[in-house]
């Protein structure tokens, strides 16, 4: 087991890619801290199933410890409390995966796309990454060890006019990560990003119209949708000590769609 006795925080881990990443770490021996807003099924967008409690049950079924903490990553005090509970429970933080996200895709005019009521929830994506990294760095620095992986998007690398705020902020997260990696690298901490393409998830088919997905499917080299497990494998690699000489990269997992 690659991560035996390591402790990983995974945000956005009630469902989707975040949950898949959390379960993948548990299978490889890690103990998990599961942070998300969804603690009851009624909290879920579009009533999609999954809570941090159910993810915690699956982690424990794999023989690993799990701590589920209701957390809005856009609220600094909630993130700080989550990190405090992590240290009290486990005494260490080895890995942080920022997988929480929010995206609005629409054919509305650009002016409407930039309205505060549309854009603000997406802006919290960046605030959440900033809050989480700032909260875990003191512990990682005291350990002289840490692995941080931020989940961005293919939309950070190609033009997506229908969600410019989301794509712009994800690109900002990638550049922010590269800058911070340069500072904390000498302290035994790496910060990298993974940019998934379009994944075969319920949220994908909820957000994007079928005609748009059909066009994408015929233009990307892989000619298929990505699987959540493929993103998880890339994250596991960047969190593994075998990749300790990789720092500040923005790795695409998109079937060749972004071409870089």
Report, as residue numbers or ranges, the catalytic residues: 166
Q: How far apart are CA 123 and CA 100, in angstroms?
A: 12
Check if the beta carbon of residue 15 is closer than 8 Å to that of residue 52.
no
Alpha-carbon distance of 231 to 235, in angstroms, equals 6
Place of tokens 């593994």: 240
Say if strands 189-196 and 95-98 run parallel, antiparallel, or are unpaired: unpaired
Distance of CA 5 to the CA centre of its chain: 22
Distance CA 155, CA 159 (A): 7
Q: Which two tokens stand for residue 237?
A: 């690699």
Q: Residue 17 corresponds to which tokens in the numbers above?
A: 């890619």
169 sits in which H/E element: helix 164-184
Residues facing 191 on adjacent strands: 148
What distance in Å separates the CA atoms of residue 171 and residue 65, rounded to the nearest whole number?
34
Within 8 A by CB and 6+ apart from 230, the residues are 253
Of 132, 146, 56, 136, which is closest to residue 99 (Cα–Cα)?
Answer: 132
Sign of the CA dihedral 22, 256, 155, 201?
negative
């Amino acid at each position: 087991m690659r991560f035996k006795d390591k402790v990983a925080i995974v945000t956005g881990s009630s469902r989707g890619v975040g949950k898949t990443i959390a379960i993948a770490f548990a299978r490889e021996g890690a103990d998990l801290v599961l942070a998300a807003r969804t603690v009851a099924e009624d909290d879920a967008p579009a009533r999609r199933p999954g809570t941090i409690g159910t993810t915690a049950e699956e982690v424990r079924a794999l023989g690993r410890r799990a701590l589920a903490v209701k957390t809005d990553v856009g609220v600094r005090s909630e993130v700080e409390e989550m990190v405090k509970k992590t240290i009290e429970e486990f005494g260490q933080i080895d890995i942080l995966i920022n997988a929480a996200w929010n995206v609005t895709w629409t054919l509305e005019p650009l002016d409407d796309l930039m309205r505060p009521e549309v854009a603000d929830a997406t802006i919290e994506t960046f605030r959440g990454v900033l809050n989480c990294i700032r909260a875990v760095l003191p512990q990682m620095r005291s350990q002289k060890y840490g692995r941080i992986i931020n989940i961005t998007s293919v939309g950070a690398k190609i033009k997506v006019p229908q969600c410019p705020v989301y794509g712009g902020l994800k690109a900002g997260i990638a550049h922010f990560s590269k800058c911070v990696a340069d500072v904390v690298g000498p302290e035994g901490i790496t910060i990298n990003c993974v940019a998934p393409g379009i994944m075969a998830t319920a949220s994908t088919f909820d957000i994007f119209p079928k005609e748009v997905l059909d066009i994408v499917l015929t233009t990307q080299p892989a000619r298929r949708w990505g699987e959540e497990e493929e993103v998880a494998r890339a994250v596991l690699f960047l969190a593994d000590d075998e990749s300790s000489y990789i720092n500040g990269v923005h790795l695409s997992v998109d079937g060749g769609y972004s071409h870089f």
